[in-house]
Structure 1
Amino acid sequence: MKITVIGSGYVGLVTGACLAEVGNDVFCLDLDQKKIDRLKSGDVPIYEPGLPEIISRNVSASRLQFSSDVRAAVDHGDIQFIAVGTPPGEDGSADLQYVLAAAKNIARYANTYKIVVNKSTVPIGTAERVRVAMDSVFVERGVSSGFSVVSNPEFLKEGAAVEDFMRPDRIIIGIGNEQKDAVAREAMARLYKPFNRNHERTLFMDTRSAELTKYAANAMLATRISFMNEMAELAEKVGADVEDVRQGIGSDPRIGYHFLYPGCGYGGSCFPKDVKALVRISEELNSDAVILKSVELRNARQKGLLSERVVARFGPDLTNKRFAVWGLSFKPNTDDMREAPSRYLITSLLERGAKVFAYDPVAMKEAEITIGNDLKGNIFSENIQYVSDKMDAIAGADALIIVTEWKEFRSQDLSRVRDLLKTPVIFDGRNIYDLEIMDLLEFEYHGIGRQNNIAKSCYPNARQR
């Protein structure tokens, strides 16, 4: 099948590459010529395991091409995926200008029937807005409108996006019930047939239900994380261990273990934006999103937790203190720094006069740019250094702070870590270390919701380990 993907960002690249991998002829469009030039030269602008290999293989096989030519892109694909950004406004609402611009461009150059697929995360009702926008252009052109609008939200986890696309849990397709939409339904079923070989994963529904499904899925996962962070705070107060609690409730098949890990807050491009957008949509419709507002509030508090604990341990004036930060991206296996908890932590430490030595396996370049923008004009901006060796970061540091749970942090020579640190203090924002080992090596260990030093010092009446 001939496919066009409009937008060569994270979702667009994964979608285009994976659809080409199963034999489709895919044209990826982006208006950023520098990005197109990088892709043509084999330089993939995002970090995603397995993606560069798929792109290279399908470009070589002439199943995948990149261009900034809008007319050629519209001419190419019978199915036109819109996978452009929908950045949040200050009020939390999603900005649809790029989605609607892409839709109008399709209508401007289309001369045959097109299936227009919203792959971007968009507010409920966007399919209708796309349809109206395209109809207005067809009216200006004086031609009849021959197109269907489909909602096909993505459910890709950064760091596992290729696997998620090739072996999906479900494929959501929202579509209308007009006669022409029957053609689109059959085409979408045929497009996704290679991903349904073992059993049928495709769920057809109306477009509004499909759009809400995307928001509801991310909001549910964010809610589970915030719930466990709330239980972690309670566990500290009563002297319980949230890791034991997590395993206890996760073993219930009605609950399961996924997204039950407490920590220093969620980030990324999806959860914060989608929860905020869903709250905004609810407010516009006079529906009070009580739970989701609480999810946001808990996550905001959680992102400040590590810096609060550093201050509780070392005092509010951190001048002449040095801290090692391991992990900068918002999660492992990505270089994405959007809403990353490390940004809030580092800014707070620097503003109190501390020096920070930061390390991340893949996000160093992106972190330096992002945090540099956060600190623009800040007199303490020179007090952060990015080091290429995690052990260099901790040498002489007053404490190690773990923000992202990269696998390489789990299996460390902890005796060496203790010897390199000026004081053997670890603030573990992801609970990656075992309490018994921390005790054995005589670390002062501050986890999240653990029976740790903070619980012992702040809650003297709590049960001790």
Structure 2
Amino acid sequence: MNIAIVGTGYVGLVSGTCFAEMGINVTCVDVNEEKIDSLLKGQIPIYEPGLEEMVLRNSREGRLKFTINLRACLDDVDIVFSAVGTPPDEDGSADLQYVLAVAREFGQNINKYTILVTKSTVPVGTAKKVKATIQEELCKRGMNIPFDVASNPEFLKEGAAIKDFMSPDRVVVGVESEKAKELMTKLYRPFLLNNFRVIFTDIPSAEMIKYAANSMLATRISFMNDIANLCELVGADVNMVRKGIGADSRIGSKFLYPGCGYGGSCFPKDVKALIKTAEKEGYNMRVLKAVEEVNEYQKSILFEKLERYYNDDLRGKTVALWGLAFKPETDDMREATALIMIDLLSKAGCKVKVFDPVAMEECRRRVGNLVDYANDMYDAVLNADALVLLTEWKQFRLPSWGVIKKSMNEPVVFDGRNIYDASEITELGFKYFAVGR
């Protein structure tokens, strides 16, 4: 089976590589010539565990190809995936210019029945616009070539994307015809031989499922952050509260971990986009607006704790930040709490030293020389007045506290992810502050 994937960003590259791993012939297309040249040389533009090895292997074995020319491969493929970016506009709504550009090129160049599948996260109703755009281009050509559009939202977690794709808990596919359903079934069957977990829906429902899923997860996070903040005020321990409510089978334990706010490429963007979709329909998403408000506040909560500890005078203090990416196992800093912290600390007159296992170059790209870049986690705390943990990388979980205590000007830790044992760390002579405890 032959397919093409337009867009070699996170979703497109991971999806294309995983399809190739299952024996499908994949052509990845991107208008960015520099990116395609790098991929042809075996240089991977993103960090994802296991991805580089898989890209190189499938490229070497001829199942994974890269090009800037969609037109050249259209006659040879049955399905084209659109995995281009949908960045938020200034008002928070999704920008569909790249999605519609793919639809135009598709309509201008197909010569046989082909499916255009939207993989990007797009608002409900986008498929209608895509279909109309394709039809418009076919009319300009005076052609009556059959085609289908479909929606196949991705549910990839950065840091575990390959596992998520290769062993999905479900695959959602929105289709309009039996022919499209049959072809998409054939495509996904190798991934789901033992348990065919493809959920076929109409296209608007498929488009909504992705937004609803991410918004629900974001809601759980913001809810627990709100509870955590109240726990501090009333003397409760949010970890005990989390365990207590998570034991309820109706609630479950996932995404009930409080912290210093969520970030990344999905949750913030998708919550905003769903709010804007509702506004266009004259509906007010009250819960999601509160979710967004809580999250924005939560990103500054550790800074407020630092201010209180130093009596609102942080000027001249050296603060070490452990973790820059929005979550472990990625170098993605989009909407990361670290960016808010760096900005607030710098404006307060602090010297900021940072370390992250993989996101240092991304931080340099974003903030330049605004911070000092440490060689490792222990170099970051050298002569620091406070240590702030922002991202719960595994290597931060069991540090040598004796070395850290000797290295710091003052042994004080602000744990933004609640990964340390409060009694253990205070017994070692540290002052310890967490979230909701």
TM-score by length of 1: 0.93
Does structure 2 retain, via aligned residues, the 8 Å contact 1:354–1:383?
A: no
Residue aligned with 2:353, SS: strand
Q: Which residue of 1 aligns with 2:100?
A: 100
Q: Which residue of 2 aligns with 1:75?
A: 75
2:384 to 397, 404, 410: 397
Does structure 1 retain, via aligned residues, the 8 Å contact 2:112–2:145?
A: no
* Offset, 1:63: 0.4
1:353 aligns with 2:349: yes
Does structure 1 retain, via aligned residues, the 8 Å contact 2:111–2:145?
A: no
1:447 aligns with 2:426: no
Identity of aligned residues (%): 52
What CA distance in whole angstroms lies between the structure 2 residues aligned with 1:270 and 1:326? 23
Q: Which residue of 2 aligns with 1:269?
A: 265
- Range with greater deviation from structure 2 (307-316 or 79-88): 307-316
2:194 aligned partner, one-letter code: N
* Offset, 1:337: 0.6
Residue aligned with 1:192, SS: helix
What CA distance in whole angstroms lies between the structure 1 residues aligned with 2:292 and 2:50? 33
Q: Which residue of 1 aligns with 2:282?
A: 286
Does structure 1 retain, via aligned residues, the 8 Å contact 2:39–2:66?
A: yes
What CA distance in whole angstroms lies between the structure 1 residues aligned with 2:311 and 2:77? 61
Question: Unaligned regions of 5+ residues in structure 2, if any?
Answer: none
* Offset, 1:303: 0.6
For residues 96-121 of structure 1, what are the alpha-carbon distances to aligned partners after superposition, in whole Å with 9 as ceiling and x for unaligned?
00000001101111101111100000
Runs of 4+ in 1 over 3 A off after TM superposition: none
What CA distance in whole angstroms lies between the structure 2 residues aligned with 1:16 and 1:295? 33
Q: Which residue of 2 aligns with 1:337?
A: 333
1:327 aligns with 2:323: yes
Q: Which residue of 2 aligns with 1:256?
A: 252
What CA distance in whole angstroms lies between the structure 1 residues aligned with 2:133 and 2:370? 50
Q: Which residue of 2 aligns with 1:13?
A: 13
1:309 to 292, 305, 310: 305
**Counterpart mapping for 1:44-55 below 5 A:** 44-55=44-55
1:343 aligned partner, one-letter code: L
**Counterpart mapping for 1:400-419 below 5 A:** 400-419=387-406
For residues 132-188 of structure 1, what are the alpha-carbon distances to aligned partners after superposition, in whole Å with 9 as ceiling and x for unaligned?
000000000110131100000000000000000000010000011xxxx21111000
1:388 to 364, 375, 387: 375
What CA distance in whole angstroms lies between the structure 1 residues aligned with 2:359 and 2:168? 27
* Offset, 1:415: 1.8
Does structure 2 retain, via aligned residues, the 8 Å contact 1:28–1:73?
A: no
What CA distance in whole angstroms lies between the structure 2 residues aligned with 1:220 and 1:389? 36
What CA distance in whole angstroms lies between the structure 1 residues aligned with 2:13 and 2:251? 33
For residues 196-225 of structure 1, what are the alpha-carbon distances to aligned partners after superposition, in whole Å with 9 as ceiling and x for unaligned?
112121000100000000000000000000
* Offset, 1:384: 1.4
What CA distance in whole angstroms lies between the structure 2 residues aligned with 1:271 and 1:383? 27
* Offset, 1:313: 1.1
For residues 421-457 of structure 1, what are the alpha-carbon distances to aligned partners after superposition, in whole Å with 9 as ceiling and x for unaligned?
111100110011001112211211010001xxxxxxx
Residue aligned with 1:72, SS: helix
1:406 aligned partner, one-letter code: W
TM-score by length of 2: 0.99
What CA distance in whole angstroms lies between the structure 2 residues aligned with 1:103 and 1:149? 10
What CA distance in whole angstroms lies between the structure 2 residues aligned with 1:437 and 1:312? 23
- Range with greater deviation from structure 2 (273-282 or 436-445): 436-445
2:294 aligned partner, one-letter code: R
1:421 aligned partner, one-letter code: M
Q: Which residue of 2 aligns with 1:26?
A: 26
* Offset, 1:383: 5.0
What CA distance in whole angstroms lies between the structure 2 residues aligned with 1:73 and 1:106? 11
For residues 328-387 of structure 1, what are the alpha-carbon distances to aligned partners after superposition, in whole Å with 9 as ceiling and x for unaligned?
000000000100000000110001110001000000000111123xxxxxxxxx551111
* Offset, 1:306: 1.0
Q: Which residue of 2 aligns with 1:132?
A: 132
2:77 aligned partner, one-letter code: G
2:218 to 222, 225, 235: 222
2:391 aligned partner, one-letter code: T
Q: Which residue of 2 aligns with 1:457?
A: none
Q: Which residue of 1 aligns with 2:85?
A: 85
What CA distance in whole angstroms lies between the structure 2 residues aligned with 1:14 and 1:436? 42
* Offset, 1:318: 2.2
Q: What is the alpha-carbon root mean square deviation over aligned residues?
A: 0.9
**Counterpart mapping for 1:418-433 below 5 A:** 418-433=405-420
Q: Which residue of 2 aligns with 1:454?
A: none
What CA distance in whole angstroms lies between the structure 2 residues aligned with 1:76 and 1:342? 45
Q: Which residue of 2 aligns with 1:461?
A: none
1:187 to 183, 187, 196: 183
* Offset, 1:317: 3.5
Does structure 2 retain, via aligned residues, the 8 Å contact 1:4–1:76?
A: no
For residues 396-420 of structure 1, what are the alpha-carbon distances to aligned partners after superposition, in whole Å with 9 as ceiling and x for unaligned?
1000000001010001111221221
- Range with greater deviation from structure 2 (192-201 or 29-38): 192-201
**Counterpart mapping for 1:28-43 below 5 A:** 28-43=28-43
Q: Which residue of 1 aligns with 2:365?
A: 369
2:38 aligned partner, one-letter code: R
What CA distance in whole angstroms lies between the structure 1 residues aligned with 2:425 and 2:314? 25
2:245 aligned partner, one-letter code: I
Does structure 2 retain, via aligned residues, the 8 Å contact 1:247–1:257?
A: yes
**Counterpart mapping for 1:165-204 below 5 A:** 165-176=165-176, 181-204=177-200
1:6 aligned partner, one-letter code: V
